[in-house]
Structure 1
Amino acid sequence: MKNHLRTFTLLAAMTALFLGVGYVVGGSMGMIIAFVLAAAMNLVSYWNADKIVLAMYRATEVDAGHPEPLVRNYVADVLALAARANMPAPKVYVIDQDQPNAFATGRDPAHAAVAATRGLLGMLDRREIRGVMAHELAHVKHRDTLTMTITATIAGAIGMLANFAFLFGGRDEEGRPTGIVGMLVMMIVAPMAAAVVQMAISRGREYEADREGAELSGDPQALASALQKIDAYARGGYFNPDAERNPATAHMFIINPLAGRGTDNLFSTHPSTENRVRALLGMSGRERVAAAPRATAVPRTETRRIGPWS
């Protein structure tokens, strides 16, 4: 409940910031236009965000009849976890990327999808994969996927409005120009503030999904181990080119796919992996954090190529 209240408060703050920028751009009418624009953008995101992001990563839908055993196990575990959580079965996808990672998308549990990279299926063991997918299903159950889509949309719109104000000038309630200094401040500060709020929401939802995912899978140690491995590989040279080209989607993944990032600070989309692992091991009664595996533990030449992507 505490985390949900915090998320709601941060969303309200981001919406207020968006309306404030609209007011600076055009007074009361600007604020109304900003509200209508936000509603329209969120409506488009609500219906189409999942299709857009799955197409962006060229994800391929798979099912229980897939010829590759690793994929069949992956699908079976997702369906079993969804049933345990009393959720509709999501669509299941595989992304043809070496970097081990995963994300969930969809506007609600009845229209959800989970996606894992080929690297995740080839480099993690089945317990760890199950832990990762339990984490993603926790996001789906609490509609975090929709929340993060909305925050990303509003953050982008704030930046767009701020740039618009800088180019065309802002007006106060009496129609007087706000001045170049005010425009510069807004152009820099407003998008930065929106990004900070967006990332704070993302970090809070990751901690909550870790906790609920560990409870759903019944194996917090497996999720902790998976997080360490994914983080080590991402930092060790297993890049995700699609994520690098679309950094605005980084918050969707279980571990930041952008190489060398992900520390626990104002400008990170994810909490530090060490903090997440410590919290998970605390759930299992263990206090000591195991050392992260070396990124070279599974050389590229030994990464299994599965499915129709061979």
Structure 2
Amino acid sequence: MNYFKTGLLLAALTGLFMAIGAALGGQQGMMIAFFVALAMNAFSYWNSDKMVLRMHGARQVDAKSAPELHQMIAELSRNAELPMPKVYIIDNPQPNAFATGRNPENAAVAATTGILQTLSKEELAGVMAHELAHIKNRDTLIMTVTATIAGAISMLANFAMFFGGNRNSNNGGIGIIGSLAIMILAPMGAAIVQMAISRTREYAADRMGAEICRNPAWLASALDKIAGAAQRIPNMSAERNPATAHLFIINPLSGQRMDNLFSTHPNTENRIKALMQISQEMGSGGAAPASPQHGGPWSQPQSSDPRGPWG
């Protein structure tokens, strides 16, 4: 994982935020933006998990309310040598999942009801292993801070017309043209940086997730199913909070399959090919697990094997 590159991208995002402040208020505006960015980062550090989970209406579950899911994540956490994260379920028909939290000791994983109904146990284990990999790599804090700053840049850009559009360039304002440029280009720049950060981390999380669940084909099969369903089933909470889209294992906003700078996630087919290559390296075989014909495994009796199928 290239943390130096990620640090540069985060610095670029903060710099963009400050540049907008400078355009709207000169040097004073830039300093205000700088201190606002610091305050936002501090707030995100302590409240990132609660904030994102609240945005998507997640509810916490435990070993009594969701025994199979809780047991699965507990077993995978032991494989990953991680503390047990908090477990959440989101009432959302789109199959998807994400992880959040400032560190492994204060982390959470969230799965939608759609993913519980769609995937087999093995496939879901692959997805949850991927999310635990984000936690182990400490991606969750960086990606949530990125979402916070990107969202703030978009809001600040929307205010550009009010702050700068009512003044002409002769009086020190940025003018209508400058305001329009900020409104269009600033969110685009933030999105590019945000997506670049996300893309650099997804492949690494796929690889580590495959190692945690011990079968890359499980995750490959899950990605194929989730990507197909995400094109058909809208995720309204993600639509209302698009700055959090990169947190999900598959882009919840659209079914884009272009592996370019403007994609929230890497091309799903490329991810699957990479996982199949990892499968060959691990010698675990390339066959994807068979899925139950009637939805996911959560209406089925709990396995009597305490190790689970991935132990």
Q: TM-score range by the shorter chain?
A: 0.7 to 0.9
Query: Is 1:120 the equivalent of 2:115?
Result: yes
Asked if the contact 1:24/1:178 (under 8 Å) is kept, the reply is yes
> What secondary structure is seen at the aligned counterpart in 2 of 1:284?
helix
Asked if the contact 1:123/1:303 (under 8 Å) is kept, the reply is yes
The residue aligned with 1:187 is 183
The residue aligned with 1:229 is 225
TM-aligned CA distance change 1:278 to 1:57, over 3 Å: same
Question: Which whole-Å CA distance do the structure 2 matches of 1:306 and 1:97 have between them?
Answer: 17
The residue aligned with 2:127 is 132
Query: Post-superposition shift, 1:33?
Result: 0.4
Query: Is 1:59 the equivalent of 2:37?
Result: no
Structure 2: tracts of 5 or more residues without a match: 301-311
The residue aligned with 2:86 is 91
Amino acid at match of 1:221: A
Query: Is 1:272 the equivalent of 2:272?
Result: no
CA deviations 1:86-114 (Å, max 9, x no partner) are 22110112222232211111121111111
Question: Which whole-Å CA distance do the structure 2 matches of 1:245 and 1:256 have between them?
Answer: 14
TM-aligned CA distance change 1:9 to 1:289, over 3 Å: farther
The residue aligned with 1:18 is 17
Amino acid at match of 2:30: M
TM-score by length of 1: 0.84
Structure 1 segment 180-259 matched on structure 2, within 5 A = 180-235=176-231, 237-259=232-254
Query: Is 1:73 the equivalent of 2:68?
Result: yes
Question: Which whole-Å CA distance do the structure 2 matches of 1:38 and 1:215 have between them?
Answer: 36
TM-aligned CA distance change 1:22 to 1:137, over 3 Å: same
Aligned pair count reads: 293
Question: Which whole-Å CA distance do the structure 2 matches of 1:278 and 1:98 have between them?
Answer: 27
Asked if the contact 2:161/2:180 (under 8 Å) is kept, the reply is yes
Query: Post-superposition shift, 1:11?
Result: 0.9
The residue aligned with 2:159 is 164
> What secondary structure is seen at the aligned counterpart in 1 of 2:33?
helix
The residue aligned with 1:33 is 32
Structure 1 segment 286-305 matched on structure 2, within 5 A = none
Asked if the contact 1:262/1:269 (under 8 Å) is kept, the reply is no
TM-aligned CA distance change 1:168 to 1:244, over 3 Å: closer
Amino acid at match of 1:53: V
> What secondary structure is seen at the aligned counterpart in 2 of 1:116?
strand
- Once superposed, what is the RMSD of the aligned Cα atoms? 2.9
> What secondary structure is seen at the aligned counterpart in 1 of 2:189?
helix
Query: Post-superposition shift, 1:175?
Result: 7.9
Question: Which whole-Å CA distance do the structure 2 matches of 1:289 and 1:27 have between them?
Answer: 58
Question: Which whole-Å CA distance do the structure 1 matches of 2:37 and 2:201 have between them?
Answer: 22
> What secondary structure is seen at the aligned counterpart in 1 of 2:262?
coil
TM-score by length of 2: 0.83
Question: Which whole-Å CA distance do the structure 2 matches of 1:50 and 1:303 have between them?
Answer: 27
Asked if the contact 2:228/2:255 (under 8 Å) is kept, the reply is no
Structure 1: tracts of 5 or more residues without a match: none
Asked if the contact 1:277/1:289 (under 8 Å) is kept, the reply is no
Identity %: 58
Structure 1 segment 133-148 matched on structure 2, within 5 A = 133-148=128-143
Amino acid at match of 1:30: G
